[in-house]
Amino acid sequence: MAGKRKILIVGGGSAGWLTAAYLAKALGVAERAAIEITVLESPEIGIIGVGEGTFPTIRSTLKFLGIDETQFLRATAATFKQGVRFDDWLHAPEAGRRHRYLHPFEAPFQTDGMNLVPYWLLQEPATRTPFAEAVTIQSQVAAERRAPKRTNESGYGGPLSYAYHFDARKLATLIQERAVALGVQHLRGLLTGVELDPDGAIAHIVSREQGALEADLFVDCTGFRAELIGEALGARFHSVRDHLFTDRALACKVPHERADAPIESVTIATAHEAGWTWDIGLEGARGIGCVYSSAHLSDARAAELLRDYVGHDDFAARSIPFEPGYRPQQWVKNCVAVGLSAGFLEPLESTGVVLIEAAADMIAELFPHSGPVEAPARRFNALMTARYDNIVHFLKLHYCLSRRSEPFWRDNADPSSIPERLRELLGEWRHRPPNRFDFVIDLETFAFFNYQYILYGMEYPTDLSAARGDFPHGGEAEQLFARVRSFGTQAAADLPGHRELVRAINRAAS
Ligand code: FAD
């Protein structure tokens, strides 16, 4: 790469525009003439337009891009997300008895000298407070449908960690506007061909409307079509269907029951006989989708489950098939894939946008201003592969601890379907809780405490009884548990209702 560098991003979905905006900001495109970033997208193909849940990292990304939080919330019909509530994952509803647990974003409460987790593990399982409720005030705040912040709190800040639920199409439009303001050029056109040079790198691409387009770095954001990385360069797709069985979603939007109905500030993930259903409260509607394994459930039965969940059939549902997995080589020669062209793992923990953020950040850091591209490509591929593998482990954890009896759930609990590393960790976690040395933090989307919420939400038996003497501060721990309870009550009373905060934000706009 010498002289002026050109980055050509093909695809204008969330991946294309987020990557464009992030690179433009990080590489200072508006201030320097040395780098040019262009997005080519085909309006006739369109974007996938699903993906309503996010992860707290989105706050720093939006802030980095210079987007005002209130402007973002209004433009994307967004609401606040404080975590995911899992209903019926441990066992199916029986005789009116239902199991539920929360995976909140806030880490367990901890003081310098005191970690509450072992003391919770040493309490009597039949009578102790559920894990998330015992260790963080966010549980109570979310259960009472309160917002994670007050109206007067600064943008992207507040007392509790949070992310958002939003309309994915509106997000792509907002980020597009920001990217263009940051100096990104926008071309409309259909990619019809890719020419390779003798080394197998991309020489140029061909667009029906724009002709031949050259670049130093091509970014494939063409979604599941993977026009560059897959079709042209043949980068192998690694399926993880042996571990994660879901491969279809049936998605719809329905209005709230009443205009003033409370809005949940968590994603609700309700398990069904062969997968789960998402339920996301947006500003003007609920996004609902049935995720399932086509090997265990027919499309007709999935449609029935969705109808039963919604309570009527007055909606249009869209079927979205997907193959769970990723490409181990996401950066090949002068082409790097970001978004669905690089891979997709089911939406249970909303990792689609997180992976886009991670990839954009890494491309910006590893961008070969001059010199060869092979070393950054190797590094990128190793880091992204590790990230995907870790997410596979984390998602599998949700399924393999279930005691449900349907074939889908029994197959998920079969040890042969559990990745070896996760099996090893589960063995260790019988005797101690997950800790920060279990994971290489830099590669992680999910930290050890995220694992704790899933493990103990699913009643995993970490047995510390033989080591009871190693935890002599039971009295102090009890006081801290009581403080978490009373802070939770106070926070739920002090924070505004979620619907009220969303309404106040949008009312101020009109
Ligand atoms: P797309 O949105 O498909 O965009 C592809 C772009 O490439 C389009 O602009 C298209 O026009 C262009 N293109 C394609 N071919 C050509 C061509 N030949 N010429 C020119 N342009 C072309 N993520 C989350 O973070 N949270 C969630 O809750 C979540 N839920 C999901 C649920 C489901 C069922 C699915 C399938 C995904 C979900 N995701 C979620 C993932 C999320 O939707 C994607 O990561 C995100 O939308 C990025 O998509 P993309 O930009 O890679 O692809």
Per residue, the 3-state secondary structure of 140-203, as one string, reads HHHHCCECCCCCCCCCCCCCCCCEEECCHHHHHHHHHHHHHHCCCEEEECCEEEEEECCCCCEE
Q: How many other CB atoms sit within 10 Å of the CB of residue 122?
A: 17
Q: Return the C-alpha torsion angle 253, 255, 256, 258, nearest 10.
A: -170
Strand partners, 200: none
**Residue 329 CA, ligand 1 centroid: distance in Å:** 19
Question: Is ligand 1 within 6 A of the CB of residue 247?
Answer: no
**Residue 114 CA, ligand 1 centroid: distance in Å:** 44
Atom of ligand 1 nearest to the CA of 43: 11
Question: Is ligand 1 within 6 A of the CB of residue 47?
Answer: yes
Residue with the nearest Cα to atom 39 of ligand 1?
51
Question: Is ligand 1 within 6 A of the CB of residue 346?
Answer: no
Asked if 139 and 488 count as a contact pair (C-beta separation under 8 A), the reply is: yes
Which stretch of DSSP H or E encloses residue 303?
A: helix 299-310
**Residue 325 CA, ligand 1 centroid: distance in Å:** 15
Question: Is ligand 1 within 6 A of the CB of residue 343?
Answer: no
Atom of ligand 1 nearest to the CA of 16: 51
Q: What's the confidence (pLDDT) of residue 509?
A: 59
Question: Is ligand 1 within 6 A of the CB of residue 246?
Answer: no
Rounded to the nearest 5 degrees, what angle is found at the Cα of 431, between the Cα atoms of 427 and 435?
85
Phi–psi pair at 19, nearest 5 degrees: -65, -45
Residue with the nearest Cα to atom 12 of ligand 1?
11
Q: What's the confidence (pLDDT) of residue 333?
A: 96
Which stretch of DSSP H or E encloses residue 239?
A: strand 238-239
pLDDT tens, position by position, for the chain (510 residues)? Answer: 457 899 999 999 999 999 999 999 999 998 887 899 999 999 999 999 887 899 999 999 999 999 999 999 999 999 999 999 999 999 999 888 999 999 999 999 987 778 999 999 999 999 999 999 999 999 999 999 999 999 889 999 999 999 999 999 999 999 999 999 999 999 999 999 999 999 999 999 999 999 999 999 999 999 999 999 999 999 999 999 999 999 999 999 999 988 889 999 999 999 999 999 999 999 889 999 999 999 999 999 999 999 999 999 999 999 999 999 999 999 999 999 999 999 999 999 999 999 999 999 999 999 877 778 888 999 999 999 999 999 999 999 999 999 999 999 999 999 999 999 999 999 999 999 999 899 876 667 899 999 999 999 999 999 999 999 999 999 999 999 999 999 999 999 999 999 999 999 888 655
**Residue 169 CA, ligand 1 centroid: distance in Å:** 10
Which stretch of DSSP H or E encloses residue 277?
A: strand 275-281
Supply the pTM of this predicted model: 0.96
For 15, counting Cβ atoms within 10 Å of its Cβ (0-12 exposed, 13-18 middle, 19+ buried), the class is buried
Q: How many other CB atoms sit within 10 Å of the CB of residue 214?
A: 12
Question: Is ligand 1 within 6 A of the CB of residue 287?
Answer: no
Question: Is ligand 1 within 6 A of the CB of residue 51?
Answer: yes
Integer Cα distance of 228 and 214 in angstroms: 13
Question: Is ligand 1 within 6 A of the CB of residue 12?
Answer: yes
**CA-based torsion, 45, 51, 55, 56: positive or negative:** positive
CA R_g for the chain: 23
**Residue 300 CA, ligand 1 centroid: distance in Å:** 25
Atom of ligand 1 nearest to the CA of 224: 3
**CA-based torsion, 334, 339, 345, 350: positive or negative:** positive
**CA-based torsion, 451, 454, 460, 465: positive or negative:** positive
Residue with the nearest Cα to atom 27 of ligand 1?
51
Question: Is ligand 1 within 6 A of the CB of residue 321?
Answer: no
Dig out the tokens for 3 from the structure. 């002289």
* Mutation test residue for ligand 1: of 38, 220, 222, the one with most atoms within 8 Å of CB: 222
Question: Annotated active-site positions, please?
Answer: 81
Assigned CATH class of 5-76+166-241+324-375: alpha beta
Dig out the tokens for 37 from the structure. 């970033």
Asked if 457 and 402 count as a contact pair (C-beta separation under 8 A), the reply is: no
Atom of ligand 1 nearest to the CA of 191: 19
For 305, counting Cβ atoms within 10 Å of its Cβ (0-12 exposed, 13-18 middle, 19+ buried), the class is buried
Q: What's the confidence (pLDDT) of residue 1?
A: 46
* Mutation test residue for ligand 1: of 39, 42, 227, 282, the one with most atoms within 8 Å of CB: 42
Q: What's the confidence (pLDDT) of residue 440?
A: 77
Domain locations in the chain as residue ranges: 5-76+166-241+324-375
Interacting residues of 487 by C-beta distance below 8 A, sequence separation 6+: 137
Give me the count of residues in the chain.
Answer: 510
**Residue 49 CA, ligand 1 centroid: distance in Å:** 7
Q: What is the 3-state secondary structure (H, E, C) of 429-481?
A: CCCCCCCHHHCCHHHCCCCHHHHHHHHHHCCCCCCCHHHHHHCCCHHHHHHHH
**Residue 69 CA, ligand 1 centroid: distance in Å:** 23
